[in-house]
């Protein structure tokens, strides 16, 4: 895994309220994403701000990486960059519970990650955030007309002669009425 994402936080732990910034660029291969949307040769830019408290370390930041996939409607290649947000809490020793007050449904519990040997390894949190942020089914553009379901023509570049009437059987009774009303008007 990426050793550049292992951050020594001993100074922060000794001085509650102190801050530290981490900015690194790591190859995607170091995260072992195992996802065809992310190229192993791509760079992942990671920016994290750490702040110490009496109970541990709070980390806020982001990771930016390029992705590529296929449009879910027309199957053209599509790519972009994603910015994954990171918000993590770390404490010494075993995983501990942190109480967040002000929740209308009562106190909510959330897990903190352990600080091991005065160091925090951000590899797994960054990996998880990036995988969750990459679009599952992207579009090449918001109004992509997609492929014709009958002949397979790309509707963005070709007009096909296929008749594609979508009928919902739940409205069949109203279709009958529409036919009667059309006859009555003529």
pLDDT given at position 106: 37
Q: Is 33 in contact with 131 (CB distance < 8 Å)?
A: yes
Q: What is the dihedral of CA 65, 68, 71, 76, to 10 degrees?
A: 150
- pLDDT by residue for the chain (186 residues), tens only, comes to 446 789 999 899 899 899 999 999 999 999 999 999 999 999 999 999 999 988 889 999 999 999 999 999 999 999 999 999 999 999 876 444 443 333 433 333 357 788 888 899 999 999 999 999 999 999 999 999 999 988 888 988 888 888 767 778 888 888 788 767 766 665
pLDDT given at position 54: 85
CA distance 48 to 161: 55
Angle, CA 14 vertex, CA 10 and CA 17 arms, to 5°: 110
CA distance 145 to 137: 15
Domain coordinates of the chain in residue numbers?
3-133, 145-186
């Amino acid at each position: 895994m990426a050793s550049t994402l292992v951050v020594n936080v001993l100074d922060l732990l000794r001085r509650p309220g102190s801050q530290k910034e981490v900015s690194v660029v790591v190859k995607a291969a170091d995260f072992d994403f195992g996802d065809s949307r992310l190229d192993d040769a791509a760079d992942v830019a990671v920016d994290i701000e750490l702040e110490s408290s009496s109970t541990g370390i709070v980390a806020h930041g982001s990771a930016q990486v390029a992705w590529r996939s296929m449009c879910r409607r027309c199957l053209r290649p599509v790519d972009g960059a994603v910015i994954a947000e990171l918000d993590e809490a770390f404490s010494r020793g075993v995983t501990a519970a942190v109480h967040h007050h002000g929740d209308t449904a009562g106190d909510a519990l959330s897990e903190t990650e352990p600080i091991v040997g005065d160091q925090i390894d951000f590899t797994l949190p960054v990996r998880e955030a990036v995988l969750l942020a990459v679009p599952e089914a992207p579009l090449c553009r918001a109004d992509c007309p997609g492929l014709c379901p009958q002949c397979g023509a790309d509707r963005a570049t070709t007009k096909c002669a296929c008749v594609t009437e979508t009928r919902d059987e739940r409205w069949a009774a109203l279709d009958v009425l529409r036919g009667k009303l059309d006859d009555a008007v003529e």
